[in-house]
Amino acid sequence: MFSSLLRKIGTLFPFRFQKIREINRRYAKPRIHTSPGVSLALLFLRLYLIFLVAVLCYKFVTIIR
C-alpha cells in the first residue's frame, strides 16, 4: 500500500523523483578513503544522531502527556 502511494506521488512529480534517483546513483559510492578513523567517526555520528532522536522523542512524549 505504501509503495503504491509512493508510486502515485511519483507520477505527480516524475521529474523530481527521477532527479533524486539520479543523484542517489551518482553518489552511490562514497569517494572518501574509508580508513579506521573515518569509519569510527561515521559510527560516532550515527550513534550521536540516534541519541538525539531518542531525546527528542522522549521530550515529545513528555509534552503530549
Partner 1 sequence: MRTISGLYYRFKRIWKAIRLYLMISGPGIIVMLADNDAGGITTYAATGAKYGYALIWFLVLLGPIAYYVQEMTVRLGAVTKRGHAEAIFDAFGSFWGWFSLLDLVLVNWLTLVTEFIGMTAALSIFGVPPILTVIMVCVIMGIMVLRGKYWTWEKISFLFCALNLVYIPAAFMVHPSVSDIIHQGMIPNFPGGFSAQLFFFLMANIGTTIAPWMIFFQQSSVVDKGLQEKDIPWGKLDTMIGAFFTVLVAIFCIVVTGTLLKGVDIQSAAEAATQLLTVNTYIGTFLAIGLFNAGFLGAICISLASSWAFGEVFGWAHSLNHNIKEAPWFYASYFLTLITAGSITLIPGAPLVLITLFVQVIAVTLLPAALVFLILLLNDASIMGKFRNSLLQNIISVTIVVALILLSTLYSLSALFPSLFAA
* Binding test (CB under 8 A) with partner 1, winner from 28, 36, 61, 64: 28
29 near partner 1, rule: CB under 8 A: yes
Question: For the chain, how many helices (H) and strands (E)?
Answer: 3, 0
CA atoms within 13 A on the CB side of 33: 2
Judged by CB under 8 A, the number of residues near partner 1 is 23
Q: What is the closest distance, in whole angstroms, from the C-beta atom of residue 27 to partner 1 in the complex?
A: 4
Q: Element (H or E) spanning 17, and its range?
A: helix 14-26
Least distance from C-beta 26 to partner 1, angstroms?
Answer: 8
Residue 59 makes contact with partner 1 by CB under 8 A: yes
C-alpha cell at 52: 538525539
